[in-house]
Amino acid sequence: MEDGDKLNTMDLIRRVVKEEDFFVFKLDIDNAPIEEPIVKALLEEEDGVEGGVSGLIDELMFEHHVAYDPMNEPWAHPKGVGDLHRSYNVFRDLRKKGIRAHSWP
């Protein structure tokens, strides 16, 4: 995600979403190399910064792709995508930032 790119997710949210909006962000591209940098950017964003994206998100729906035996058969996940422990930590950290983050399946 490069700053200034019209397809940069963080910039798009800043341009379109207003503080008074109830904004639900569904992140389900089914491509971990695209999704992970978006979540990483949300987690790395400083809290309370004016113009920040995390403060605009009321609910985040995110299908975090992880290696998990019951799901590996129907969906082949590339190696190195992480595991449930890491996923729980990602969602914990998003919630600590004040983002109501929800996972599935």
* Structure-block tokens of residue 22: 């109830």
- Condensed to tens digits (0 to 9), the pLDDT of residues 16-38 reads 999 999 999 999 988 888 899 99
- Phi, psi dihedrals of residue 24, rounded to the nearest 5°: -105, 120
pLDDT tops 60 at residue 80:
no
Q: Is the dihedral of CA 97, 1, 102, 68 positive or negative?
A: negative
Q: How many CA atoms lie within 13 A of 19 on its CB side?
A: 4
pLDDT, residue 61, reads: 96
On average, the pLDDT of the chain sits at: 84
The pLDDT of residue 82 is above 60: yes
Question: Which of 18-22, 78-82, 98-102 has the weakest average pLDDT?
Answer: 78-82
The residue ranking higher by pLDDT, 47 or 93, is 93
Q: Does 40 score more than 60 pLDDT?
A: yes
